[in-house]
A = this chain, B = another copy of it.
Amino acid sequence: MTTCLIIGGGGMLGQGLAGALTARGTLAGAALSHLTLFDVVPARAPEGGIPVSVETGDLCAPGEAERLVSSRPDVIYHLAAIVSGEAERDFEKGYRINLDGTRNLFEAIRAENGRSGYCPRVVFTSSLAVFGIPLPDVIGDDYVVTPLSSYGTQKAIGELLLADYSRRGFFDGIGLRLPTIVIRPGKPNAAASGFFSSILREPLAGKEAVLPVGTDVRHWLASPRAAVGYLVHAGDLDTTAMGGRRNITLPGVSVTVGEQIEALRKVAGDEAVALIRHQPDPAVEAIISTWPKAFDTRRALDLGFAGDASIDAIITAYLEDHAGAAS
């Protein structure tokens, strides 16, 4: 029997993961017997036969991490973070939530390890933001991490702590550098990366979308379905093959905005493409120009992380998962 805790269980990935685990009914090679969703606001509990606890709190509050760990869940997903824009605007809040919160969790597990030998699987979501220019066109698994944002710095530090705590045997950790998630459901948001989703999602719903960059911009994308699959696989995986390197860049599809638009045309026709309004935004163009374009994710592929086949498959998955989203 496996018990599981999802910290950040109310977010897009946390909800997708909770749904997938409940539907699947197993994790880490055994039946899933209990799931706890922790977030700052109450998470929606997935439907299904598995008992679910929904808890709210602040991972940075004194004693909170210890309380969460005291039930000794077999698998802990740590997905909670404040996003890059907010971490850049509010330096102290970013370090408090993204660094101190993560360290609180890791220290609480270490303390429980010292008391009882407890040694859970810990899956930590990192980010492509750990990479900073100059970058090669295709980034290999051995390329240096030099973040150029406070968010990326906090994630890179989380990766280092995860690897050291794992090496010392306090827990068995895996850090996942997720691609940019496309197509995010919901409404357009203010994130610089938001247009990668909205130029597909909005026209599919018969709505106008704004494209702030040129069609030659290339980036590294994965579907929400693939991202949830990565999280589930990271809960199941035998980590012995990882050696001392506990953090991995995950497979994605490297496509240009132009290729995204042609994939949209195949599914939804010229009238959908006509809903994309090109309105260059030099600020967004400047941010995007520093982002990775493509990776060689040999290590992740060798470890069995399987991604999307193509941008067409990403669009198809979205339409399947959100029936009625198309106009």
> Which chain A residues have a beta carbon within 8 Å of chain B's beta carbons?
91, 110, 132-133, 141-148, 150, 153, 156-157, 160-161, 163-164, 167-168, 244-245
- Measured between beta carbons, the chain B residues less than 8 angstroms from A133 are 244
Q: Which of B132, B157, B244 contacts A157 (CB 8 A)?
A: B157
Please tell me if the beta carbons of B164 and A147 are within 8 angstroms of each other in the complex.
Answer: yes
Please tell me if the beta carbons of B146 and A244 are within 8 angstroms of each other in the complex.
Answer: yes
Task: Kindly provide the distance from the CB of A104 to the nearest chain B CB, expressed in whole angstroms.
Answer: 13
- Measured between beta carbons, the chain B residues less than 8 angstroms from A144 are 141-145
Asked whether A163 and B167 contact (CB < 8 A) given A133-B244, A244-B133, the answer is no
Q: Which of B132, B142, B163 contacts A244 (CB 8 A)?
A: B132
- Measured between beta carbons, the chain B residues less than 8 angstroms from A163 are 146-147, 153
* Chain B residue at smallest Cβ distance from A130: B160
Central interface residue in A110, A133, A142, A168, by most chain B CB within 10 Å: A142
Please tell me if the beta carbons of B150 and A164 are within 8 angstroms of each other in the complex.
Answer: yes
Contacts A/B (CB < 8 Å), 20 sampled: A91-B110, A91-B168, A132-B244, A132-B245, A133-B244, A142-B143, A142-B144, A143-B143, A144-B145, A146-B163, A146-B245, A147-B160, A147-B163, A150-B168, A153-B160, A153-B163, A157-B157, A157-B160, A157-B161, A160-B160
